[in-house]
Chains A and B, each alone.
Chain A
Amino acid sequence: MSRFPELGLILALAAGLQAAPASAGPLGLGRPATPDEIAAWDIDVRPDGVGLPEGRGGVAEGEELYSDNCAVCHGDFGEAVGRWPVLAGGQGTLTADRPIKTIGSYWPYLSTVYDYVHRAMPFGAAQSLSHDEVYAITAYLLYLNDLVDEDFVLSRENFLSVRLPNEPNFKDDDRLQTETFVFDEPCMKDCKPGEPTITMRAAVLDVTPEGDGEGSLE
């Protein structure tokens, strides 16, 4: 204990003031975030590689990690157990009646795989994987989607060399440009001929609120 606690406080405040202002804005609320604090929470990764940490991991390590941490829900080959998300396959199904949207068939960017696995997986044990482990699992997911060979090693250095097949097929929202019928003056009287005919009934399907319905959110 210092004999002069007040003096110590004053010195600390002075040091803080020299390092950064108490806050930037006109209201003087909040306090500067420290570099360590930002590093602790800033875990996001972008398609251009910004945010990728140092590290590396190969398909072989990824397979072992995946078997231990992921396969119970996502299946040994990314095919999924029950209603858990499918991670692999489905290439060429996006125009099918029942598309299978996976990393290989649908996702545009590999960075999203790294970012999401790191921040939210395994389900129930989020942010428990090391950087190298996430690289390895990401490499294995590429392998399951037939996008790399079994000896592939993913790292921060070669990350941007991997492109996912469906990247070109996303476009920004164009609803108001392509669905202009929504601005047509609506009909008020005698809009359709004849009597209404029921073409579909929810009561026939009978999945409210329980049952094995066709639809799904995931």
Chain B
Amino acid sequence: MSDESRQPKASRRAFLTGSLAAGGALAAVGAARAAGDPAILELPDWTTTLGEGVDANPYGMPSEYEAHVVRRNVPWLTADPVSSVNFTPLHELDGIITPNGLCFERHHGGVAQVDPAQWRLMIHGLVETPLVFTLEDLKRFPRVNKVYFLECAANSGMEWRGAQLNGVQFTHGMIHNVMYTGVPLRTILEECGLKPAGKWMLAEGADAAAMTRSIPIEKALDDCMVAFKMNGEALRPEQGYPARLVVPGWEGNMWVKWLRRLEIGDKPWHHREETSKYTDLLPDGTARRFTWEMDAKSVITSPSPQAPITHGKGRTVITGIAWSGRGTIRRVDVSLDGGRNWLPARLDGPSFDKSIHRFYHEFDWDGRPLYLQSRAIDSTGYVQPTKDALRSVRGVNSIYHNNGIQTWYVNENGEAENVEVS
């Protein structure tokens, strides 16, 4: 933009903006009421000068005013950022689809940068013919498009002992929900010919962690996919480019990225990610293994600690998300008084199996403190429990699968805080 005519001018608008900052918000509102709103009375730069051409951004990015809507990490959570996690900014999102660039990341050996021409998928073990597929082969299979949530088993895991992280991005942001394009795993396995003795499948990634998980063959043949696109475009490298396993409704660890190998066997492998990790320690010292499903869960995304109420009393929109690894969401209840009374929320948008659902509750806020909670009920009749109910069985050391009801305390100023209430 070297053209002089396109440069922002030192306009009266800039002068007014400066005086607004100096005069304070109240004076600004008064002036706007007296003479009218400068945002209307003054022509802004974007009305008087030309914007960027179509050649400026071959791959577009959000408005500069949305620069705060980013993934964030919590350095103290893990020893190293290479085997770590970051968080989706749920408080700024709406609808049910997570933008690809904001989908949380969880790696165990960093982001593998796989050359798609060098990518291979091998299927062997208890099959009639072990086969190797290229990416081109994969794209010649019949495809399906499905919207699914992917939730890390450790989502909300830092909250087992109580309220710790002050923001829905951190307490619930190890989740994303995108449309996957790919091939049903059943179709690919049938190409190899499954032997009847094949009861389990080992999925393995091509990254430096060589992530492996054992998956029962019933699940593999039911709704698993090998996906190569998310939200219409190629998978992002951090999401497993060029292909990942999709395991609908089950803990994110099993959605093996940079998928390179599927082995069919007659027993589970009991590998590191299903023994040392992703097993759930109980108070008596025993541990649950193979806790695959992600149970019904919900959270209010706004208002929340990172998204306070700034408009004062009056019409207020409460919104949030609900999901279940066991089906669709039948109902979401919202409480304004810490679980004393509940009202059914308004579900909006598509309701897909094992996908995020969007809910709203619109009401007139009288300015009194709120103790906001949401409670999901899924298509199996499962009702999202309280954290105390879960702790009564599981204690506080199971790390994974915390789907307890979240409370946000909203004070008279509209500021919200992560709390627990009795």
Interface residues of A (CB under 8 A from B): 20-21, 23-27, 29-33, 37-38, 41-48, 50, 73, 82-85, 94-95, 99, 101, 103, 106-109, 111-112, 115-116, 119-120, 123-124, 126-127, 169-175, 178-179, 181-192, 195-203, 205-218
Query: CB distance A120 to B210 under 8 Å?
Result: yes
Known pairs A119-B212, A198-B419, A208-B166; A32 contacts B285 (CB<8 A): no
Q: How far is the CA of A30 from the CA of B131 in the complex (A)?
A: 6
Task: State how many angstroms separate the Cβ of A86 from the closest Cβ of chain B.
Answer: 11
Query: CB distance B338 to A25 under 8 Å?
Result: no
Q: How far is the CA of A45 from the CA of B202 in the complex (A)?
A: 11
| B375 touches A (CB below 8 Å) | yes
| B288 touches A (CB below 8 Å) | yes
Query: CB distance A170 to B286 under 8 Å?
Result: yes
Task: State how many angstroms separate the Cβ of A200 from the closest Cβ of chain B.
Answer: 4
- The contact of A205 among B164, B271, B291, by CB within 8 Å, is B164
Q: How far is the CA of A30 from the CA of B269 in the complex (A)?
A: 26
Sample (16) of A-B pairs whose CB atoms are under 8 Å apart:
A29-B141, A42-B261, A106-B276, A106-B287, A120-B209, A126-B209, A173-B291, A173-B292, A173-B293, A186-B383, A188-B341, A188-B343, A202-B419, A211-B76, A217-B158, A218-B78
> Which A residues lie within 8 Å of B187 (CB)?
27
Interface residues of B (CB under 8 A from A): 72-80, 82-85, 108-109, 122-124, 127-133, 137, 140-141, 154, 157-167, 170, 187, 190-193, 202, 204, 208-210, 212, 260-261, 263, 265, 267, 269-272, 275-276, 279, 281, 283-293, 295-296, 305, 333, 337-343, 371, 375, 377, 381-385, 389-390, 393, 397, 399, 401, 409, 417-422
Query: CB distance B383 to A112 under 8 Å?
Result: no
Query: CB distance B341 to A189 under 8 Å?
Result: yes
> Which A residues lie within 8 Å of B165 (CB)?
202, 207-209, 213
Known pairs A95-B285, A214-B164; A25 contacts B190 (CB<8 A): yes
Query: CB distance B130 to A38 under 8 Å?
Result: yes
Q: How far is the CA of A27 from the CA of B193 in the complex (A)?
A: 12
A interface secondary structure, majority: loop
Interface centre among B128, B141, B381, B419 (most CB of A within 10 A): B419
Q: Which residue of A lies closest to B342 (CB)?
A: A188
> Which A residues lie within 8 Å of B288 (CB)?
170-175
Question: How many cross-chain pairs have Cβ atoms below 8 Å apart between A and B?
Answer: 292
Query: CB distance B130 to A33 under 8 Å?
Result: yes
Query: CB distance B129 to A32 under 8 Å?
Result: yes
> Which A residues lie within 8 Å of B74 (CB)?
207-210, 213
Query: CB distance B164 to A95 under 8 Å?
Result: no
Known pairs A171-B286, A172-B290; A32 contacts B130 (CB<8 A): yes
> Which A residues lie within 8 Å of B78 (CB)?
83, 216-218
> Which A residues lie within 8 Å of B84 (CB)?
217
Query: CB distance A203 to B192 under 8 Å?
Result: no
> Which B residues lie within 8 Å of A188 (CB)?
333, 341-343
Task: State how many angstroms separate the Cβ of A101 from the closest Cβ of chain B.
Answer: 7
* 7 shortest interchain CB distances as A-B pairs: A196-B338, A25-B191, A24-B129, A83-B79, A215-B158, A202-B418, A94-B285
Query: CB distance A120 to B261 under 8 Å?
Result: no
- The contact of A175 among B137, B291, B375, by CB within 8 Å, is B291
> Which A residues lie within 8 Å of B421 (CB)?
196-199
Query: CB distance A196 to B193 under 8 Å?
Result: no
Given A95-B284, A170-B288, A197-B421, 16 other A-B contacts at CB below 8 A? A25-B131, A41-B260, A45-B269, A94-B287, A99-B281, A109-B275, A115-B212, A116-B276, A120-B210, A175-B293, A182-B385, A188-B343, A191-B341, A208-B165, A210-B76, A215-B159
